Structure 1
Amino acid sequence: MRSLAGLAALVAAASVFLYLLSTHLPPGPTRGPPGSAEEEEVEEDGGVQEYRLKFPSDLDELRELAEMLKFYNREHHGYVLLLFCSAYLYKQSFAIPGSSFLNMLAGAIFGPWEGLALACLLTTVGSTFCFLLSSAFGKQHVVQRFPEKVALLQRKVEENRSSLFFFLLFLRFFPMTPNWFLNITCPVLNIPMPIFFSSVFIGLIPYNFICVRTGSMLSEISSLDDIFSWGTLAQLLAIALMALLPGALIKRYGEAHLKVDGVDSNGPSRAEVKPVRERW
């Protein structure tokens, strides 16, 4: 009970901080981009612009938020960076789905390379925070809530203990088990922190690259003609090749050296599961 109370207090404190950060923005620009809806709204309101922030749930909301933050970023880069990092770490630390939208938002706001660096850094740091929170507050609850999946992963970790880093890398490249579940389960499986940290950073580079580049391209596309231009198609092909190459190499290595049969995102059947042994 104490562990749940402590975790709830951390979630509440982080939620309040993020809420205050998103609702107490410094004074924004007084003019929108030429010809934009923001410019017309500012003129109607006498030069006062109000911003309302929320996590995007679809591509339309993503593009709207990206346009607003890109415009706001011109005068308050540091604040936008702090707000974005805080929102990203909030989602990653508490295993909240939606990192793909934030990765695309990073590409749209900060560009492909700064966005990629941010996404890789924040993914790794946020996953590490999630690892530490699970280790401190949630080990027993993870086992009680997901006994079958934890048991299967525990067996696979023991079978691949000699190649543990590459096994974790394989799971990140091919998410047969969701990333958030790996983050909360690794402390239960006694995965060393350095191996966990490096496997997250390297293993999610292709995924982050795809999302960030997609967000960067979406922010530049204004019509269907832009999507089917030779330049856009060439970028899509390059993204596909960059993402597939490391995955193919890891898969080839995994087939030869790793034991990953039976691991899937839907969990194992009862017949495949051995009783899980608590190791703390």
Structure 2
Amino acid sequence: MRSVAGLLAIVAAATVYLYLLSTHLPPGPKPSGPGPDGEPGEAQEFSLTFPSDLESLRELAETLKFYKRENYGYVLLLFCSAYLYKQSFAIPGSSFLNMLAGAIFGPWVGLVLACLLSTTGSTFCFLLSSAFGKRHVIQFFPDKVALLQKKVEENRSSLFFFLLFLRFFPMTPNWFLNITCPVLNIPMSVFFLSVLIGLIPYNFICVRTGAILSQISSLDDIFTWGTVAQLLAIALVALLPGAMIKRYGQTHLKMDDADSNGTSQDRKRR
């Protein structure tokens, strides 16, 4: 009971912090021209919510890009806080935040942010599970934990590459790996590096997609040579590391019965 109460207290404190951060915004930039009455335009006020689809993502991206003209530090703090909140408490939806990073901060700054935040947030989730949730993870997911435990022991000599393999391929959701690794006695250093490296292709895809979507105003823009070249580059970055890890896995990792209880049929919910 103590562990549940402690976890709920942390979730409640983080929720209040994020709520206050997103509702008590500093004034936005003033319009460049005069208002309808000829007086200088007043600063706009914004209401922010997590994006749930591509349309709301585009609207939020446009709002935050406009807002960060005079409040870059605040937008950065808000984005980092929201991302860490989702990752730390194993809430699916980081793909939207990755795309939002590309749309707001550009492809390269967005990629660096996505990689650092996904790794940091996953590590927070690892620590929370280690401190509060080990017993509950085993209680709620006994079969999946048992299967992963078996696979970890079989691949203990190649543990880092085994974890990379799981990050590249949808055998089990990322959030589930984050909460299960402490139960499997995965060293935090190995966990940290596997997340940092293993999620680079996925983060790159999402961030570049967000950057492209923010520049597209019609369907015709998708078929320009520049956009097509960027999409091809995204595909190559996604395929090459995965192919290398898969080839390594076929010769060094024991994954033959990974489908035995349906874990491999889970879709990744980032």
TM range (shorter): over 0.9
- Give the alignment's Cα RMSD to 1 decimal: 2.2
**Which residue is 2:27 aligned to?**
27
* Unpaired stretches in structure 1, ≥5 consecutive residues: 270-280
Q: 1:67 aligns with which of 43, 62, 67?
A: 62
Q: Are 2:222 and 1:227 aligned?
A: yes
Q: What is the deviation of 1:50?
A: 1.9
Deviations 1:36-76 (A, max 9, x none): xxx999x9xx6342201010000000000000000111111
1:217 matched to 2:215? The reply is: no
Change over 3 Å in CA distance of 1:30–1:186 after alignment to 2? same
TM-score, length of structure 1 as denominator length: 0.90
Question: What is the Cα deviation at residue 261 of structure 1?
Answer: 2.7
- SS where residue 263 of structure 2 aligns? coil
Pairwise CA distance, 1:230: 1.2
1:261 to 237, 256, 264: 256
The reply on whether 1:190 has 2:162 as its aligned counterpart is no
Counterpart in 2 of 1:92? 87
Structure 2 gap segments, 5+ residues each: 266-270
Report what 1:3 is aligned to. Answer: 3
Distance 2:102 2:73 in 1: 17
Say which of 105, 119, 122 aligns to 1:124: 119
SS in 1 for 2:103: helix
CA–CA separation in structure 2 for the residues paired with 1:47 and 1:197: 46
CA distance in structure 2 between the partners assigned to 1:194 and 1:11 by the alignment: 25
Deviation at 1:30, TM superposition (A): 1.8
AA of the residue aligned to 2:263: G
Give the number of equivalent residue pairs: 264
Question: Which residue matches 1:58?
Answer: 53
Deviations 1:89-148 (A, max 9, x none): 000000000000000000000000000000000000000000000000000000000000
Structure 2 match to 1:140: 135
CA displacement at 1:260 relative to structure 2:
1.6
Q: Which of 142, 163, 166 is the equivalent residue of 1:171?
A: 166
Query: Equivalent residue of 1:188, what SS?
Result: coil
Q: Secondary structure at the match of 1:176?
A: coil
Alignment correspondent of 1:13: 13
For 2:215 and 2:129, the matched residues in 1 are separated by 39
Structure 2: distance between partners of 1:179 and 1:128: 12
**1: CA distance, partners of 2:215 / 2:185:** 45
CA distance in 1, matches of 2:30, 2:198: 43
Amino acid at match of 1:137: F
Q: 1:256 to 1:83 in 2, by over 3 A?
A: same
Identity of aligned pairs, percent?
79
TM superposition outliers: structure 1 runs of 4+ over 6 Å: none
TM-score of the superposition, structure 2-length normalised? 0.93
**Which residue identity lines up with residue 126 of structure 2 in the other structure?**
F
Whole-Å Cα distance in 1 between the matches of residues 72 and 257 of structure 2? 47
Q: Matched residue of 2:3: which SS?
A: helix
